[in-house]
Amino acid sequence: MRQAGLTAWKTVEWLLLAAVGLIFVFPFLWMFLTAFKTMPEVYQFPPIWWPESWQFQNFEIAWSSGPFLTYVWNSFLVAAGILVLQLLTGVPAAYAFARYRFRGREALFGLTLIALMIPAQVIFLPVYVEMSHWGLVNTLWALILPYGASAFGIFLLRQSFMQVPDEVIEAARLDNASEWKIMWTIMVPMAKPVLVTFGLFSFIYHWNDYFWPLIMTNSNEVRTLPIGISMLKAAEGGKLWNVIMAGNMILVLPILAIFFFAQRHIISAFVYQSK
């Protein structure tokens, strides 16, 4: 009876997981199939799943509707530049919070956590004024500099650094290793899964960011891919949903590829943090 009960519970658990997975996968599947449909198939009711003939030209129409290569390059520069700055500022801050004892440490870390609760939309006006005073509006720097430090990254790395045994740090100091060397050659490699996970989250967030590029840019030369997709919808009058979905596929595919190759590190990071 006990074994039968466990089997039944496992079956229910798998069914629930499958249902939740389907809820998350369904929008992506619908977007993918719509990107290859003709317009009559998009508006057909009852809706059909599979297109009768796969319309690859939808991607060509979406790509040629604007400087999409520029949008993609700008999105990559912004997301990668932000990630580099966040690591350069976050790793030393997390190391200091995890391994140093100094007056006001808890208060400063509390302020860092408070920053997690403040959305960008609340502070965009003073930041915009500051960028304007520096003459950086409508440049890629205006998209990168305001996100140069990440409270979430500092918190995540601090938790990871605190799990490194004190004996490892003391042994390195006995070998006359500098704090800088300990941080980058010992702590950072041991936190690799957490770094990859944070890097993925940061890159995806800023790759998909729509609000900040919308208010900081006003020319195609510095606009990012989400802005380009929104302009595609406006250019097509909000009617050619197959072309719009093709544009969204261009936006999503790099993220899915990165997630596919980094998922092992993400799982390792969550397992490591739960120990």
| Residues 230-253 pLDDT 10s | 887 655 555 678 888 888 888 888
Give the angle 21-275-195 at the CA atoms, nearest 5°. 70
Give the angle 217-259-225 at the CA atoms, nearest 5°. 20
Q: What type of residue is 170?
A: E
Here the tokens at position 214 are 């919308």
Alpha-carbon distance 205 to 75, whole Å? 11
Tens of each residue's pLDDT in the chain, 275 residues: 566 666 777 777 788 888 888 888 888 888 888 888 888 888 777 877 888 888 888 888 888 887 888 999 999 999 999 999 999 999 999 999 988 888 888 898 888 888 888 887 888 889 999 999 999 999 999 999 999 989 999 999 998 888 888 888 888 888 888 888 888 888 888 888 888 889 888 998 999 899 999 999 988 889 998 998 888 765 555 567 888 888 888 888 888 887 777 666 666 655 555 45
State the pTM of this model.
Answer: 0.82
Place of tokens 């039968």: 4
Alpha-carbon distance 186 to 180, whole Å? 10
Alpha-carbon distance 157 to 44, whole Å? 50
Half-sphere exposure of 242 (CA within 13 A, CB side): 21
Q: Is 103 helix (H, G, I), strand (E, B) or coil?
A: coil
The span from the first CA to the last CA of the chain, in angstroms, equals: 33
Calculate the average pLDDT of the chain: 84
- Choose among 174, 181, 188, 161: nearest CA to 99: 161
Q: Is 117 helix (H, G, I), strand (E, B) or coil?
A: coil
- Choose among 155, 156, 191, 166: nearest CA to 100: 166
